[in-house]
Amino acid sequence: MFENLTARLQATFEQLSKRGKLTDRDIDAALRDVRLALLEADVNYKVVKAFVGRVKERATGSQVMRSLTPAQQVIKIVDEELISTLGEAAPLNLAGPSPHVIMLVGLQGSGKTTAAAKLGVRLRKSGQRPLMVAADIYRPAAIDQLQALGRQTDVAVHSEGTQMPPPEICTRAVQHAREGAYSVVLLDTAGRLQIDDAMMRELEEIKARTKPEEVLLVADAMTGQEAVNVASEFNDRVGLTGVIFTKIDGDARGGAAISIREVTGVPIKFLGTGERVSDLEPFHPDRVASRILGMGDMLTLIEKAQSALDQEEAVESAQRVLEGTFTLEDFLGQLQQVKKIGPLGQLMEMIPGMSRYKDQISPEMTDGQFKRVESIIQSMTPDERRNPRVINGSRRRRIARGSGHTVQEVNQLLREFREVQRMMKRFSGNKRNMRNLMSMFQ
């Protein structure tokens, strides 16, 4: 979402770092570029003005001017002010007696129903017992969609059909949750324009009758600065406690995410990072600021890996690496594990210094490479996967025909795998590496 902003800021700071000593003119030029980068990213102009003013006041101080690394000091100030603008992390409020009611509101097409399912999955994994409520009686197939997502995610769904008014549906759902020992109720309300007074009154009635701990606006990041206006209107009418930004994996410029806290006072709580029901991240301002500045986000990457990877399989693979018995079956298994974490482009954004190379790897090319390797290895016999040395000319031709690729591509994969094996043997010969690798899984 922030890739254009990241590229502009990195270019600005790169120019700044070439200066051994900064002058007022250098800082003015750099902040002019920062201002343009933020405005191009669709950040609210008032937020940009206040942000640049704070940075300039701190950057022209004696601490920066006398520093041995003034450019790094400026980057540090920008990072700290970005975090301040984005606000503090705001976890869900699940205090007090259950069931806890979470009300999802927003415009039509913003992704509320999918967000409800993602939130349901996240709550279930954290030990809660969620109940999703089909309160959108206006959109065709909205109830069917939520029920299908409920079956897919193993999260219960409460539905009363389309004849009962939504406030009554929500009231009955909360009572059902109380009787059924559900700990969290997720109200999937109908999408509406913030200027539709009758529909907004309906939300006000739902809130008055169910008394939700959280009222979360589900906002499409692709709507840009309009998301800030929408949040302001919904906040005035129903009192928002947070925002879930969806579709941040698209080509949104990201300005609304930077603006929304300062303009509305409403914190961002989650980011929808993809189409899968597991693609929902808690919003951490410090990590997002780090990504914007191209400094990566290793904590989120580690959390993704821990939730997606099979721990037992990882330990077994690590053991085979140490023993020098890493096979094509292990190679295929590791490839499939990496795919579970997420698209390679997203992973590169989280590794410090790698975001600038993300454009060199297209999603199509990466997916094509993964599929090529998978199809070639899956066309081998179990014995060939465990012992590639037995693969002679006739076997290579058979594998190529079975996988739909050329003999040259099969040869290339086998050469690459032999190189991986040699690297693994060198790695396993180092006792310190062995201890470090095994400690990762303890």
Residue in the structure block whose two tokens are 């980068």: 37
| Higher-confidence position of 422 and 65 | 422
198 part of a folded domain = yes
C-alpha span between 392 and 162 (Å, rounded):
65
Sequence letter at residue 106:
G
Return all residues near 31 (Cβ < 8 A) that are at least 6 apart. 52, 55, 56, 59
Return the pLDDT at 69.
67
**In a 3-state reduction of DSSP, which class is residue 281?**
strand
93 part of a folded domain = no
Q: Which of 58, 86, 114 is the last residue of a domain?
A: 86
| Strand ranges of the sheet holding 268-272, from the earlier edge strand across to the other edge | 156-158, 130-135, 184-189, 100-105, 214-220, 242-246, 268-272, 280-282
| Higher-confidence position of 441 and 120 | 120
Mean confidence (pLDDT) of the chain: 79
Same domain? For 229 and 279 the reply is yes
94 part of a folded domain = no
Q: Which of 277, 295, 313 is the last residue of a domain?
A: 295
Which of these ranges, 249-253, 271-275, 283-287, has the smallest mean pLDDT? 249-253
Return the pLDDT at 133.
96
pLDDT confidence bin for 65, thresholds 50/70/90: low
Q: Which of 26, 53, 86 is the last residue of a domain?
A: 86
Helix, strand, coil shares of the chain, percent, nearest 5, are 60, 10, 30
95 part of a folded domain = no
Return the pLDDT at 255.
78
Same domain? For 347 and 388 the reply is yes
Identify the domain containing residue 132 by its residue range: 100-295
- Could you give the count of Cα atoms lying within 13 Å of 331 in the half-sphere of its Cβ? 25
91 part of a folded domain = no
Which CATH number belongs to the domain containing residue 173 in this structure? 3.40.50.300
Return the pLDDT at 406.
93
Same domain? For 150 and 228 the reply is yes
Question: Is the dihedral angle over the CA atoms 234, 235, 239, 243 positive or is it negative?
Answer: positive
Same domain? For 364 and 275 the reply is no
Same domain? For 401 and 350 the reply is yes
Other C-beta atoms closer than 10 Å to the C-beta of 62 total 7
| Higher-confidence position of 210 and 65 | 210
C-alpha span between 111 and 40 (Å, rounded):
26
pLDDT of 306 strictly over 60: no
Return the pLDDT at 380.
93
The whole-number average pLDDT for the span 236-248 is 89
Most confident of 294-308, 364-378, 409-423: 409-423
Return the pLDDT at 2.
66
C-alpha span between 106 and 110 (Å, rounded):
7
DSSP string of 63-97, one letter each residue: HHHT-SSHHHHHHHHHHHHHHHHH---------SS
Return the pLDDT at 234.
92
Return the pLDDT at 113.
93
Which CATH number belongs to the domain containing residue 56 in this structure? 1.20.120.140
C-alpha angle with apex 106: 103 to 111, nearest 5 degrees? 95
Same domain? For 273 and 345 the reply is no
pLDDT of 106 strictly over 80: yes
Same domain? For 130 and 216 the reply is yes
Which CATH number belongs to the domain containing residue 352 in this structure? 1.10.260.30
Same domain? For 124 and 255 the reply is yes
Return the pLDDT at 365.
41
Count: domains in the chain: 3
Same domain? For 421 and 307 the reply is yes
Contact 350, 293 (CB under 8 A): no
pLDDT of 267 strictly over 60: yes
Same domain? For 193 and 221 the reply is yes
Same domain? For 285 and 311 the reply is no
Q: Using one digit for the tens of pLDDT, what is the confidence trace for 348-370?
A: 555 444 445 445 444 444 556 77
The values of phi and psi at residue 132, to 5°, are -90, 140
Same domain? For 144 and 276 the reply is yes
Q: State which H helix or E strand residue 140 sits in.
A: none
92 part of a folded domain = no
391-to-7, 283, 333, 375 alpha-carbon distances in Å: 46, 50, 20, 16
Q: Using one digit for the tens of pLDDT, what is the confidence trace for 131-186?
A: 999 999 998 789 999 999 999 999 999 999 899 999 999 999 999 999 999 999 99
The values of phi and psi at residue 135, to 5°, are -105, 10
Question: Is the dihedral angle over the CA atoms 202, 246, 50, 54 positive or is it negative?
Answer: positive
